[in-house]
Amino acid sequence: MTLLPAIRYRFMKDIGAPAAMRFAKMGKKRPARPPDPLFAPPLAATRRLKELISRHYFLSRYTRGAMPVAWVTSGAPVEILRPFGYYTLYPENHSALCGAQKVGGRMCAHAEEHGYSPDLCSYARIDLGHALTGNTPVGRLPRPDLLFASNNICQTVLYWYKILAARYGIPLILFDTPYRFADAEGGPDLEYMVGQMEAIIQQLEGISGRRFDREAFSRTIDLAKETSLLWGRVLATMKARPAPMTIFDAFAHMLPIVSLRGLESARGYYRLLLEELEERAERGVGAIREERKRLMWDNIAIWPRMREHANLFASHGMAFVTATYTNAWAETTPLLDPGRPLESLAKAYSCVILNHHLEHRLKLMERLIREYRVDGLVIHSARSCKPYSVGQYDIKRLLLERLSIPSVVIEADIADERAYAEEQTRTRLEAFFEALEEE
């Protein structure tokens, strides 16, 4: 790292970025909107969230020469990178953002033109489309110096990142997590993962030329744990009736816990959001005007259809109050322990929902259904995410048998807006709404 780029980055962080955010805010001033008949006024914290995201991508443009850049999978133990000073970006989050802005299909098409199958995960195709063309709605992404992946969410990330490593000529570090067929902890699997982490630290010391700071690492674990606990409390506010936000809000507000985990900015943001939500819950302010039924969502969001779905469900008085996806970043929090950082990190990251057997997932959903007083379940069978979609019809049947919970399966994709059948989906949902109303 050289002095001038470091000075430039510091200047942009302290002066340039705040000025750019103020300028953007001035340019976007619009007349006040009339009250929405379906929803409560938007959360004030959302403005801070947009600033946080914009600032993160804006500053990434000034990292070259100032600090190393790592591209990381959502399930990788990013805490281990923090003491080495990496600026981290998440291609999955970038792909979700492209999906939400409805440019995912176009970027997937770029990858498909170069021989990648349309059956491949759309997050991967969007990212490969970006690597091939440089196109992105955030302006520009910095070239990575390192790739860091874990196969605890799927095997696709490994082959996807291998392609990126070859294209950019950079190292790829993999944290391999054995699949958990049982709930038992410890044993050879844990030893294997802790051994990997020790080897990863040595590898990072060699790549970065920096010694690993174990005290800084423990502080990062502590910060990540507190942030995840705050995220869990944010989600728990939806146990209130009416719920002060819905899962459509939570899908947007989960970005800091995924992308900025282990950083002060994420902890500060969730303190702000939690305060506002608890205040709303205390005053009885619901996210939707009329909450008649409470629902659970299973799987990743359909990012290109977020707004349409939020309006559709709210118009029927249906509020999503919990989701297996948003819960994933709060579920394993108690396992983090700054006193045993490597062991606890290995446990926390190997116990994520997609690396666990189906009965574990079923018990988790049963618990969420009871705690959040759920009336019905919407299952997104995602064309892209096969590990998440496997077993969903068995889950649907078993939850009906055990808890009498009605459900509906809708088939779509997480970020490729081309894989969506409007009429078929609406027909299934209308039938589901009628069945719920008759109960």
What is the reported pLDDT for 184?
Answer: 63
What is the reported pLDDT for 185?
Answer: 66
Whether the per-residue pLDDT at 3 is higher than 90: the answer is no
Pick 180 or 235 by higher pLDDT: 235
- Give per-residue pLDDT as tens, 149-158: 999 999 999 9
Extended beta strands in 12-145, E state: 69-72, 87-89
Q: Where residue 168 falls among pLDDT bands split at 50, 70, 90? A: very high
Whether the per-residue pLDDT at 181 is higher than 80: the answer is yes
- Phi/psi region, residue 391 (left: phi>0; alpha: psi -120 to 50; beta: rest), is left
Whether the per-residue pLDDT at 18 is higher than 90: the answer is no
- Phi/psi region, residue 43 (left: phi>0; alpha: psi -120 to 50; beta: rest), is beta
- Give per-residue pLDDT as tens, 91-126: 999 999 999 999 999 999 999 999 999 999 999 999
What is the reported pLDDT for 79?
Answer: 96
- Give per-residue pLDDT as tens, 241-284: 999 999 999 999 999 999 999 999 999 999 999 999 999 999 99
Q: Contact at 8 Å (CB) between 75 and 16?
A: no
Give me the mean pLDDT over the 145-170 stretch. 97
**Phi, psi of 57, deg, nearest 5:** -70, -35
How many other C-beta atoms can be found within 10 angstroms of the C-beta atom of residue 64? 17
H or E element that contains 320: strand 318-323
Nearest to 57 by CA among 45, 47, 69: 69
Percent of the chain topping pLDDT 70: 97
Beta pairing, strands 318-323 & 407-412: unpaired
Whether the per-residue pLDDT at 367 is higher than 70: the answer is yes
- Give per-residue pLDDT as tens, 59-93: 999 999 999 999 999 999 999 999 999 999 999 99
What is the reported pLDDT for 34?
Answer: 78
Give me the mean pLDDT over the 170-188 stretch. 87
What is the reported pLDDT for 334?
Answer: 79
Pick 268 or 28 by higher pLDDT: 268
- Give per-residue pLDDT as tens, 192-224: 999 999 999 999 999 999 999 999 999 999 999
Whether the per-residue pLDDT at 318 is higher than 70: the answer is yes
What is the reported pLDDT for 29?
Answer: 63
In 214-340, alpha helices (H): 214-236, 247-253, 255-259, 264-283, 306-315, 324-331
Query: Both tokens of residue 385?
Result: 């995410």
